[in-house]
Amino acid sequence: MTGETMCARAVMPDLTREGRLVVVARARRAEDYDRVLDVLIDAGVKSVELTLTTPGTFDRVSAIVERHRDAADIGVGTVTTVDELGRVIDAGAAYAVTPITSRVLVERAVAAGLPIVPGGLTPTELFASWTAGAAAVKVFPATQVTLGYVKDLRGPFPGIKVVPSGGVDLGGARAWLDAGAEAVSVGGPLLGDAFDGGDLAALRDRALRFVEVCAGGVAR
């Protein structure tokens, strides 16, 4: 017996589940999103998480969702309050990500039909979010656990869907997926200096490699 109870659950959107890669776009300002997202999505990235630590994100979410609706799921991360979650829902985001374990946020998202991925590290935190109805749970920081953590969690919690985040590089992405992760959440190792005026051709090359690896290719 796992003690897990049945609950309502909004599953991750189709494109995110297909690509198995969520790119966390933490920009200095929201005006910088477009040039980077255009490159990522053109390279085949199917899911991008905008972050509320980027000033002006709420002013841009709806337009970005509309711009990329057919090609990629646009989610919003670093959601920590009920008010922020309400604005994410109103903006039409495909999913929400929160760095904390909050049953209130999960239940509000589920009631609205919005997939939510809460962060946590311990089995207690992750189980609390999962049983509240999270679409998946974000193991953060993933650098603090081993690949075997996915299997360990599925011992007592057989159906749990895990998305490792924090320090996941190209080789790590393939290893986590092979270990049973639902998807991987990637930031700096893919984006590099793209939001600081970096070479967009180099960004495209990195994105293509991550897309290939997460779709089942070999890291190189």
Q: What is the pLDDT of residues 51-88, one digit of tens each?
A: 999 999 999 999 999 999 999 999 999 999 999 999 99
Looking at residue 8, what is its pLDDT?
81
Looking at residue 205, what is its pLDDT?
98
**Mean pLDDT confidence for 172-185:** 97
Q: Compute the distance between CA of residue 85 and CA of residue 197 in angstroms, rounded to an integer.
A: 31
**Mean pLDDT confidence for 179-206:** 97
Q: What is the mean pLDDT of the chain?
A: 95
115 closest CA partner among 17, 214, 215, 2 = 17
Q: Compute the distance between CA of residue 101 and CA of residue 119 in angstroms, rounded to an integer.
A: 6
CB distance 97 to 84 below 8 Å: no
Looking at residue 40, what is its pLDDT?
98
Looking at residue 218, what is its pLDDT?
53
pLDDT > 90: what percent of the chain? 94
CB distance 194 to 186 below 8 Å: no
- Domain architecture of the chain: domains with CATH: 14-214 (3.20.20.70)
**Mean pLDDT confidence for 166-188:** 97
- Identity of the residue numbered 116: I
Whether the predicted pLDDT of 110 surpasses 50: yes
Looking at residue 27, what is its pLDDT?
97
Looking at residue 216, what is its pLDDT?
84
CB distance 78 to 53 below 8 Å: yes
Q: Compute the distance between CA of residue 154 and CA of residue 57 in angstroms, rounded to an integer.
A: 35
Whether the predicted pLDDT of 3 surpasses 50: no
**Mean pLDDT confidence for 118-134:** 97
Q: Would you say the C-alpha torsion 212, 148, 161, 168 has a positive or negative sign?
A: negative
What interhelical angle do 33-42 and 57-68 show, nearest 10? Answer: 30
Looking at residue 6, what is its pLDDT?
55
Q: Compute the distance between CA of residue 143 and CA of residue 186 in angstroms, rounded to an integer.
A: 12
